Amino acid sequence: MLDAAANSHLVSNDKGLAKRTVSLIAHCSKPNLSQEHASPSSSLNMPQSFGMAMGFSLSETLPVADLPALARNASHLRASEERVVYLAPNADPNKCWPIRPTLRNELDTFSVHFYVFFGPNISVPPDRAAVFAINLMPVLDSGGVLNMEIKLNMSTVKGANVTVFGCLNHGMPLFLRENSSMKCESESTSGFLLAVNASSNITKLRIPYPQTGTWYLSLRSLCATDRGFEACANVTAEVYLRSYLTPCINDCGTYGQCKLLRTNNYLYAACECKAGWDGWGCTDNSGAYSYGFQLLSTLLLCLSNLMFVPPVAVAIRSHYLLEASVYIFTMFFSTFYHACDQPGIVVFCIMEYDVLQFCDFLGSLMSVWVTVIAMARLKSIIKQVLYLLGAMSLSMALQLDRHGLWNLLGPSLFALGIMAVAWWNTASFK
């Protein structure tokens, strides 16, 4: 503490500096951090923010009973119109340590990596917590998934029964204290608890649609004793910390596809699950189709293209070789397109999906076109010209809109008109 003479000297020389100094010492001794000091949550979250205090999260972590309590001796120091939060260690209330910021690296939409300075390996001292701040921006970050991964370096614990606890909380930092009720919460807020030790040295936490603003991660290393968790003596644990944003959870896995969606001008990512799978990351198989069912449905769909065999035989017997070649083309690409377009794991692709889809659609439309033109009984030269014009026009139409209704309806009506005119002319001459 500063003595009276030092305080008088500071006030006489620089009143502003003296006020800041006294404020620092006074705030560190406060017993708790009131709710009004917490950062306000953003009103620009995606449809609803699940990643908030007492909200929804997905974790792969060690279940730990009786976790250390959260001390609430925090301080606020205002300088240059910006709020900086400091945490005071429990042993010496006259000392404060700062919150370490993270470096933001945007890679793509909802793809952001947060790097810790002098990381990613973090040393957690035995006598105090290591606190980090992660800032999520409104609109840009709230539509994805916040991922947190902590891995314990076993070589640094030296055989001690060390457990590194992490408390991730939004708006205000919380940290753990030995010999207390072990919860990652305070009177005004609660967070997500993570823990790593010798038996489970890695833990992962996923928060879909996180609340924007500042998230604080507090790491504390404690040793298990007969009296509970206590501060470790001369053991500085080292952990690997990785924090990042992704559009979807594990890219939706094998049975899903990650898609960017927009609702009321809000952009967010979500998984589109297939084959009966469900869940945030398409990992819920309660209603999933069995492998046998998927195999049977794929085979039936592919074998249905054998219905082209009779038209091919009739066309060859009637010497319509060009028409027969179009039918064979359609049968081949339709079979392998449907084999590649299956939602489950029974998938077989002989080339790129987009190429198979284009050839299947083009073959289907050309089959209708050449069949109607052949029924018109036109002269050979006119028929060949119409075949060529139809192939080029249909290719252009498919590139413009592959799923358009007029891609099939337009050529069909035009070909039927040609056939009607040809039949009317034939009937008139007779």
Q: Can you give the pLDDT at residue 307?
A: 92
Decide if pLDDT at 255 tops 90. Answer: no
pLDDT at residue 198, as a whole number = 82
pLDDT in tens, 319-336: 999 999 999 999 999 999
The string of pLDDT tens digits covering residues 185-204 is 777 778 888 888 888 889 99
Give the range among 47-61, 217-231, 261-275, 362-376 with minimum mean pLDDT: 47-61
Query: Stretch 338-345: mean pLDDT, rounded?
Result: 84
Q: What pLDDT is recorded for position 98?
A: 67
Q: How confident is the model at residue 346 (pLDDT cuts 50, 70, 90)?
A: confident
Percentage with pLDDT > 90 across the chain: 19
- pLDDT score at 180: 56
**Residue 57: its pLDDT value, please?**
53
- At residue 43 the predicted structure's pLDDT band, cuts being 50, 70 and 90, is very low
- pLDDT score at 177: 63
Residue 90 clears pLDDT 80, i.e. is over it: no
What pLDDT does residue 85 have? 34
Split at pLDDT 50, 70, 90, the class of 178 is low
| Gap between the Cα atoms of 208 and 32, Å rounded | 30
pTM more than 0.95 = no
Q: What is the mean pLDDT of the chain?
A: 75
The answer to whether residues 247 and 147 touch, using CB atoms and an 8 Å cutoff, is no
What pLDDT does residue 100 have?
A: 81
Q: What pLDDT does residue 303 have? A: 92
Weakest-pLDDT range from 86-100, 246-260, 356-370, 404-418: 86-100
Provide the pLDDT confidence category of residue 338 given band limits of 50, 70 and 90.
very high
Distance CA 71, CA 209 (A): 28
Task: Specify the pLDDT at position 181.
Answer: 57
Q: Does residue 414 register a pLDDT over 90?
A: no
Whether the predicted pLDDT of 42 surpasses 50 = no
**Residue range 297-323: mean pLDDT, rounded:** 92
**pLDDT of amino acid 175:** 67
Most confident by average pLDDT, 72-81, 108-117, 326-335, 386-395: 326-335
